[in-house]
């Protein structure tokens, strides 16, 4: 599949019976993998159990449906900026930004904004992680780049530069792409003897 990540919004009606989902009631969410990406299903638990399906979900989880509410008060600017940057990066679908996307997703998970719902190892040994936004119910499909510890510091610096506004998405993307090219071109380390 060419998409390494994307966002799928929570539905407000059952994907099977088309009746509205009930505020604070149990809901089953699932992702179906297709040639075009992922299709999200949100449904009443009884509909999930009884629905005729000729497919197995890529990912499935139980949750609680929260009806959308009007904006009460704004979260601190930094969290909003981080969330908007994550959404922009996922929408851009730029493979050079996979490390930054992953660090932002983990940052949101640690802040309890996102919750990891599933992790699937792919045939090429990459890992796709499925996160769900705790308030909006959106699902975020994020490629785990398996960052190496020695690369983490530079990725964190790029994320901080984006959050502080000292670098644009384009500047960070160029830096990430250059670093990736340099890592691939570097000769393997050899042992030296004294």
pLDDT in tens, 119-137: 999 898 889 999 999 988 9
Q: Is the pTM of this model over 0.85?
A: no
Q: In the structure, how many helices (H) and strands (E) does the chain have?
A: 5, 7
148 touches 49 (CB < 8 A): no
Strand partners, 116: 131
Judged by DSSP in three states, 185 sits in helix
Burial annotation 83-112 (CB, 10 A radius, 16+ → b, else e): bebbeebbeeebbbbbbbbbbbbbbbbeee
pLDDT in tens, 26-40: 999 999 988 888 889
Beta-carbon contacts of 19 under 8 Å, excluding residues fewer than 6 positions away, are 13, 44
């Amino acid at each position: 599949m060419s998409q390494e990540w994307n966002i799928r919004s929570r539905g407000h009606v059952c994907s099977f019976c088309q009746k509205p989902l009930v505020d604070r009631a149990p809901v089953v969410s699932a992702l179906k993998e297709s040639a075009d990406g992922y299709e999200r299903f949100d449904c009443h638990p009884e509909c999930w159990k009884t629905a005729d399906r000729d497919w197995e979900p890529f990912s499935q989880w139980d949750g609680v449906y929260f009806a959308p509410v009007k904006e009460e008060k704004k979260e601190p600017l930094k969290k909003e900026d981080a969330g908007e940057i994550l959404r922009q990066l996922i929408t851009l679908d730029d493979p050079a930004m996979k490390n930054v996307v992953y660090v932002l997703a983990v940052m949101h998970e640690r802040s309890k904004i996102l919750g990891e719902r599933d992790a699937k190892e792919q045939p090429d040994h990459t890992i796709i992680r499925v996160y769900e936004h705790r308030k909006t119910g959106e699902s975020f499909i994020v490629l785990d780049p398996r960052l190496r510890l020695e690369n983490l510091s530079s990725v964190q610096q790029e994320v901080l530069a984006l959050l502080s506004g000292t670098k644009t998405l384009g500047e960070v993307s160029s830096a990430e792409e250059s670093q990736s090219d340099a890592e691939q071109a570097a000769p393997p380390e050899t042992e030296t003897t004294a």
